[in-house]
Structure formats: C-alpha cells, structure tokens
Amino acid sequence: MALQSDKIFVNLPVKDLNKSVEFFTKIGFEFNPQFTDENATCMVISDHIFAMLLVEDYFKTFTKKDISNAAKTTEVIIALSTESREQVDEIVNKALAAGGEKSNDPVDHGFMYSWSFQDIDGHMWEVLYMNSGEVEQG
C-alpha cells in the first residue's frame, strides 16, 4: 500500500516574520492565528496544505544542518496549482507588486501554463494551471 497523508506542512525559514506575513497577505493568503506567535505562523494555502513560516533562529531548533541561503541557492521549488491561467498571472503579479522577484518568465506548454516568483526571503514559488482534459492518460 502506498503511503498516504491527508495534509502537508511546508516549513520555511524567514528573516522577518512580520514582513513575510505582510508579503503573503498582499498575495491573498490567510494565516491561522491558533498557530501563530513571535516565532512562527501557519499560512493557509488550502484546506490541506499549509506553509509554516518560521523565524530562522526558531527554524534552527528543528535541524542540525545549516539553513540554506535561499537568495543564493535553491533547495526546493514550491509549486501551487490554480484554477485558470488568469489566476496564475494574478498571483504572480501580486507577488511582484508586494516585493517579490520574478524567477522565470511565463511558460506555456498548451495544456500547462506556469510562472514563478521568489518571495522576499528568496524561496521559489511556481504557480501553474494544468488543463487535465488535455493531458494524455498513459
């Protein structure tokens, strides 16, 4: 039997929690106050997907490894699917207006459209729309 989980929590180190909350709020995300304090916040991406934004010193309590400098290196690209091409553009444009940086130009494969940005800590976010009706079933 394949492993199954009903929720995902992505933990990301951030330099300034208040600035990160402000940035992601401008994009349209909300936060769960039950899991928010001066060290961390729970950003709600969907009913089952969450990003825990952790102040770097607090993040370090969960690992013996060095924290990657997301402004210089990439360890992960967080990919979020949307309901339309227009929503991809809307989210990325909001991120750029809020102080994020463009990561790549939009990519159009016909059945899939994506565009990416870096948040204010340099973490990479890929926003995509996939028309599942056009994806060949193998």
Structure tokens at 30: 């909300």
* Percent of the chain scoring above 90 in pLDDT: 86
What would the pLDDT profile of 76-109 be if each residue is shown by its tens digit?
999 999 999 999 999 999 999 999 999 999 999 9
First-last CA distance in the chain? 21
Question: CATH code for 73-138?
Answer: 3.10.180.10
Length of the chain: 138
Residue range(s) in the chain whose domain bears CATH number 3.10.180.10: 1-65, 73-138
Q: In 3-state terms, what secondary structure has residue 12? A: strand
pTM above 0.85, yes or no: yes
Give the CATH H-level superfamily of domain 1-65.
2,3-Dihydroxybiphenyl 1,2-Dioxygenase, domain 1 (3.10.180.10)
